[in-house]
Amino acid sequence: MLADYATLTRRATDRLIEFPGRPLIMGVVNVTPNSFFDGGRYLEPAAAVAHALRLVDEGADLLDIGAESTQPGADPVDEAEERRRAIPVVAAVAKAVRVPISIDTSKATVAQAALDAGAALVNDVTALRGDGAMVEIIARMGAGIVLMHMRGTPRTMQQEPRYEDVVGELATFFNERIHFAISRGVAHTQIVLDPGIGFGKLLEHNLTLLAQLDQFTRLGCPLLVGVSHKAFLGQLVDRPVQERQWATAAAVAMAVERGAGILRVHDVRAMREVMQVTMAIGHATGRPMKAQHA
């Protein structure tokens, strides 16, 4: 079964994303004024491109370029502005590096323009529920698609999220979304799943999802996990956003141990080392890692 997703997005060979027997490190590039960790730092295209190249130097296997913040309460960005911010950066980075590029967007026109400019993967935090035109683009372009779980929208998602059984409810959600995508012409091998840590979840939900991440490996798609500097870590260690690197490291290690296939992080070099050490210990125990990346 592993061979089925040993590589991803196979339809167009130039969009292949290969899994080299370990999780991939996805470096975050936010071309926004208001992202919770690095908002405003890379709003200028030249600064964003330089940051992306630095992340590749530090060992990023993938880059996730986004131009709209999804933090709780964030205002939506209009389509023209999102394109204006994101596309020149995607185009310049795609020319400069060989690592696959993901576009973090829920808008079909932004996704199409980014794929045309060289992106290989669309990171849609609405899991194809936001823009009706998105699924057709993914099917036609043979691009990878991240289906992330979110309760509500970024504006509303932290208003009293409730679950009876958070793991079971996410499994049902993933199954339904996979079915939908496949029914519209997307191949199973194009799909990546993401529990959406911090998206409409309380601390206890985030912890349960990370603790039981391996429950989702049976769905047969790589799992993307984004914990980097998030608020739930601040609740645990009482540190401001910029000082959550160690807390992030602990969560990344646990996610690796439980089968994460792609780690979406801001601190690429450090988290790559965390991943390497976690993998080495996992191998030495002789216990197979849950392996979304073999």
Sites of contact with ligand HH2 (CB under 6 A): 28, 30, 32, 35-37, 66, 69-71, 104, 123, 125, 146, 148, 194, 196-197, 224, 226, 264
Token pair belonging to 113: 């323009």
Catalytic residue among 15, 83, 177, 264: 264
Q: Which is nearer to ligand HH2, 70 or 208 (CB)?
A: 70
Of residues 138, 51, 66, 41, the one with CA closest to residue 97: 51
Are the C-beta atoms of 181 and 5 separated by less than 8 Å? no
Q: 8-44 burial string, b = 16+ CB within 10 Å, else e? A: bbbeeeebebebeebbbbbbbbbbbeebbbbeeebbe
Measure the CA angle with vertex 122, ends 121 and 127; round to 5°: 135
The yes-or-no answer on residue 140 being catalytic is no
Taking the C-alpha atoms of residue 6 and residue 8, their distance in angstroms, rounded to an integer, is 7
Handedness of CA 9, 15, 21, 26 (dihedral sign): negative
Least separation in angstroms between CB 115 and ligand HH2: 17
Q: Which is nearer to ligand HH2, 36 or 163 (CB)?
A: 36
Least separation in angstroms between CB 238 and ligand HH2: 20
Least separation in angstroms between CB 69 and ligand HH2: 4
What are the Cα distances from residue 157, in Å, to 72, 164, 196, 261?
A: 7, 17, 11, 25
The yes-or-no answer on residue 15 being catalytic is no
Taking the C-alpha atoms of residue 292 and residue 235, their distance in angstroms, rounded to an integer, is 29
Q: What DSSP designation does 99 have?
A: S
Token pair belonging to 270: 């450090």
Q: Which is nearer to ligand HH2, 196 or 200 (CB)?
A: 196
Least separation in angstroms between CB 31 and ligand HH2: 9
Q: Which is nearer to ligand HH2, 71 or 189 (CB)?
A: 71
Q: Which residues contact 280 (CB under 8 A, 6 or more apart)?
A: none
Q: Which is nearer to ligand HH2, 43 or 137 (CB)?
A: 43
Least separation in angstroms between CB 287 and ligand HH2: 27
Taking the C-alpha atoms of residue 159 and residue 142, their distance in angstroms, rounded to an integer, is 36
Catalytic residue among 230, 244, 272, 290: 230
Q: Which is nearer to ligand HH2, 156 or 285 (CB)?
A: 156
Encoded amino acid at 244, one letter:
R
Taking the C-alpha atoms of residue 179 and residue 191, their distance in angstroms, rounded to an integer, is 11
Q: Which residues are catalytic?
A: 230, 264
